[in-house]
Homo-oligomer: A and B are copies of this chain.
Amino acid sequence: MPRQRKVEQRAAGTRDRILAAAAAMIGEDPSVNLSVRTVAARAGVSTGSLRHFFPTQRELRDAVLAVIYDHVVSEDGIHDRSVPARDRLVNCLRQVLAPAGVGEQAREAWGKLFETFIAPEPTDEVRAAYLAMDREGQRRVESWLAILTQEGALAAGENTRRARFLMTVLNGLATERALPAEKSILRSETETLYMAVDCVLNCRT
């Protein structure tokens, strides 16, 4: 069932060149700033042409993220539509949380984070190192949201904000894993993850 006519395929060609250029730039330097002009120049098209396919920078960025993580096709299970979207997203978020560890391991992990990024004078080098880490996590979460948006499980347009929100929840959970806890932390952690995910999936903003 070929929905696209010939002209649209030609258009898809330059659309893809734009996405490929942007993806290549991120591949070379994950902290690169994707401006209209740099991406357009790299793709060999005009800024106006880029704007024709991606009316705002946000839409360009979201599309690039989706492309990158589609090609990486990891086993995170985000694509498995036999599972409800909320369960898939929660499982993915657990993968971000996993390196935080539990118990003594969690305290050691927090200790390293503290000694590396909080205790020392925040030089540009220290800042850049942390921000690269943070952006990587943010990108992962945004890529999952982009995929759920593509399936229609999520309204478009706020994924950066949503990802920031989820990252904050994960930071809170990671911190609480290092701090003393009342009773089984797993239960309240699961409840909190589902509350955050349901918020993102259901609430209008």
Contacts and interface: CB of A to CB of B under 8 A. Distances in A.
Interface string A182-203: 1000001001101110111011
**Interface size band for A:** 35 or more
A interface, over-half SS: helix
A169 B195 CA distance: 11
Given A180-B131, A182-B134, A195 B118 contact: no
A112 to B, nearest CB: 11
A191 B172 contact: no
B114 A114 contact: yes
Contacts of A202: 203-204
A196 B70 CA distance: 29
A173 B152 CA distance: 30
Given A117-B179, A175-B172, A198 B203 contact: yes
Interface of A: 107, 110-111, 113-114, 117-119, 122, 126-127, 130-131, 134-135, 161-162, 164-165, 167-176, 178-180, 182, 188, 191-192, 194-196, 198-200, 202-205
